[in-house]
Chain A
Amino acid sequence: MKKEKTVIKIDNLTKEYRLYDKPIYRIVETFFSSGKTYYQSFMALDNISLEIQRGETIGIVGRNGSGKSTLLQIICGIIKPTKGSIVVDGRISALLELGAGFNPEFTGRQNVYLNGSILGLTQQEIDSRIDDILSFASIGDFIDQPVKSYSSGMFVRLAFSVAISIEPEILIVDEALSVGDEAFQRKCFAKINQIQEKGGTILFVSHSTTSIVELCSRAFMLDRGELLIAGEPKQVVSRYQKMVYAPDDKVEAMKNEMRLLENRFALPLEDEEPRRERVGGKRQERQAPQSPSAEVSEHYDPHLVPVSIIEYERKGGTILNPRLEDEHGNLVNILENGKSYSYVYEVKFDRGIDKVKFGMLIKTIKGVEICGCSADSAKAGCGTIAEGRVVKVTFPFQCLFYPDVYFLNAGVLGEDSDGEFYLDRQIDIAMFRVRGDNLKHCTALTTLVGFPEVTDE
């Protein structure tokens, strides 16, 4: 491994946005400094210090407005910090906004040349790379059509191909990869891996926590301009997720807790007592798979509750206490992959009804429905429902989900002479997180496939 070399060094960096009542004041203040201030200040970044070594892949997470993009813009040199210093060593290619400077009236090829020269390539350099660029973008004959006729996916592919073609030493990506189809995303990730192997440094901002864990060697979490924690991506991401789903009044407490963490800028993979011999500030190497208790020691996180429950109008029934239980009936919401759990809720009926169906659904964050159930009360053996009756409904399931966060729906259907209708229906009523190690071989939503056995034939 190459000797570690600092490529980005940021010291006590502060970025203050000045909000002026009238734009003219800004000019006045730039040239004539008087004692009076005409602005309100807004701290986009507050006293950030960090170092990034060559060859690292850094993920940056944070809620909206936490200063992620500002930080990237400063690293690129697009905006100047108000205070503090930043030293960058290496050729940067930034994908802050794909296709900035593309002119929709021109053909793809013309735009490649112009964009290339903006990125600092000469005509000859682009000539020698154009084939690579075109094959990576794979937009075929459209290259000689005006860009305005492109689909958004084609546009992004072309822009990404150009940006990547300068073989950057430091690649900065701001959520640019969330567009483009699956195949292209894989291709981009492959390209990123290639840059990693060549010893390039990558910084990327993403809301996709899975790709951060997958790709990064280290992660930063920003919140309201403050660098809260840094370290092992898994650790950072799990704390980040915890905070995102926490109720507003709890966030401050959680932030304080993080501020007090020892090693908060070099969080190790385990969440045990910090060991004495660990040197602060040094990068942690990836460790061997951890014990199941690595992330959070309990199986229930009170902050892991959905923030956007959608309730429909109730028509004679109420779903109560939606929850997840393990085999022993304990309340859980952090699930181990491979174990059996139950999704339980109670229903209180405010009217008598002959036939009902109990329903549930498990979805991903993006709303992909993974599994659902709609069960007839007659078959479930509870007969007709009298007014005022309360029943407990238990759906057993085996947790074979890929480690991520999942949401649950619940619904109770009734049937009368007018047909079926929902007695009560609630969307995103509960949520859980799945964790599991040694699941790296699984690539999609579920972990139904085991590790392959390979034998000589």
Chain B
Amino acid sequence: MIIKGFCRFLELILKQRYLIVSMAKREIAEQYVGSFLGFIWTFIKPLVMISVFWFVFSVGFKSKPMGDVPFVVWLTSGMAPWFFFSETIMASTGAVVGNAPLVKKTLFPSQILPVVKLLSGLITHAVFLSILFALLLLQGISIGFHVVQFVYYLFCLSVLTLGFSWFCASLNVFVRDVGQVVALVLQVGFWGTPIFWDINMMSPELQQWLKLNPVYYIVQGYRESFIYYVPFWHHKMYTVYFWAFTGVVILCGAYVFRKLKPQFADVL
């Protein structure tokens, strides 16, 4: 039942691909319309953020290099997926409410909104990754064919993000507290996920618990793609766990969205 509904849901989205692309384009343009530097801002923001983190941790706290990679490279490769994840979810949570006139007054497939946010988030993510590549080159770290593996992890990340996004976007229409809760959870999640601290600092038992966080699967995967070159099939069980978790998230997210969608226009 749920699976069948889900397939129809995906089909509808596929049909709207032109609209999704043009809305995503607008989404990106919207951020910079009227600003003098325009698209350059997309680069400035992550650059400043990475510089600050580098300054605080490498210069201030004198964090040691992680193995033979400089801390900043290690940090950036973990931060990139997290920011994509959190920014997309934050943006999606407000997406339906933010497009109320469209949802209320036109025949509009609102399920595409989180997809649009995901797509436009990919642009920022690409910028983030290009900075990462620049860092890798600057540090003289060789970039091998293994790097391609990040595409797999990006796919994982997108599916997980989309599931959460549908869930939050639809609930937020009815209970606006969801936006606040999501912001809070993401804040906690940022520090709770081993992004700028090494999971090996923790006891093996605690590591098991920390690994339940599906985002860590991706953070670890990004690092293994860019730095350590460990293929994903080395973590068979973890991969199975991740997909089971993500499968439930995306099915539930789509189900909740589909169930609540008919009432959007009633309450917006």
> Which A residues are closer than 8 A to B by beta carbons?
17-18, 23-24, 26-27, 30-31, 73, 76-80, 92, 94, 96-97, 100-101, 103, 105-106, 110, 113-114, 117-120, 122-123, 146
Contact B175 A97 (CB under 8 A): no
5 A-B pairs (CB sep. < 8 Å): A73-B104, A80-B262, A100-B105, A106-B33, A113-B22
Using a Cβ cutoff of 8 Å, how many contacts connect chains A and B?
Answer: 84
Contacts A79-B265, A100-B106, A114-B26 known; A122 to B259 CB distance under 8 Å? no
Q: In the docked arrangement, what's the CA distance between A78 and B110, Å? A: 11
Contact B23 A105 (CB under 8 A): no
Q: Which residues of A contact B22 (CB under 8 A)?
A: 113-114, 117, 123
**B266 lies within 8 A of chain A by Cβ:** yes
Q: In the docked arrangement, what's the CA distance between A30 and B99, Å? A: 23
Beyond A73-B265, A97-B106, 14 additional contacts (C-beta under 8 Å) are A27-B171, A76-B107, A78-B107, A79-B262, A94-B106, A97-B105, A100-B102, A106-B33, A114-B23, A117-B22, A117-B23, A118-B106, A119-B106, A123-B22
Q: Which residues of B contact A79 (CB under 8 A)?
A: 262, 265-266
Q: In the docked arrangement, what's the CA distance between A31 and B23, Å? A: 31
Contacts A94-B106, A101-B102 known; A23 to B29 CB distance under 8 Å? no
Which B residue sits closest to A92, measured CB to CB?
B107
> Which B residues are closer than 8 A to A by beta carbons?
18-19, 22-23, 26, 29-30, 33-34, 99, 101-108, 171, 174-175, 256, 259-260, 262-263, 265-267
The interface centre, meaning the residue of A27, A31, A92 with most chain B CB atoms within 10 A of its CB, is A27
Q: Which residues of B contact A110 (CB under 8 A)?
A: 26, 29
Residue in B107, B175, B266 whose beta carbon sits within 8 Å of that of A17 in the complex: B266
Residue in A73, A97, A117, A123 whose beta carbon sits within 8 Å of that of B101 in the complex: A97
Q: In the docked arrangement, what's the CA distance between A24 and B267, Å? A: 12
Contact A106 B105 (CB under 8 A): no
Q: Which residues of B contact A118 (CB under 8 A)?
A: 19, 102, 106, 108
Residue in B18, B30, B104, B105 whose beta carbon sits within 8 Å of that of A117 in the complex: B18
Contact A106 B101 (CB under 8 A): no
Q: In the docked arrangement, what's the CA distance between A205 and B203, Å? A: 69
Q: Which residues of A contact B108 (CB under 8 A)?
A: 78, 101, 118
The interface centre, meaning the residue of B22, B30, B99, B260 with most chain A CB atoms within 10 A of its CB, is B22
Q: Which residues of B contact A119 (CB under 8 A)?
A: 106
Contact B30 A103 (CB under 8 A): yes
Q: In the docked arrangement, what's the CA distance between A146 and B29, Å? A: 13
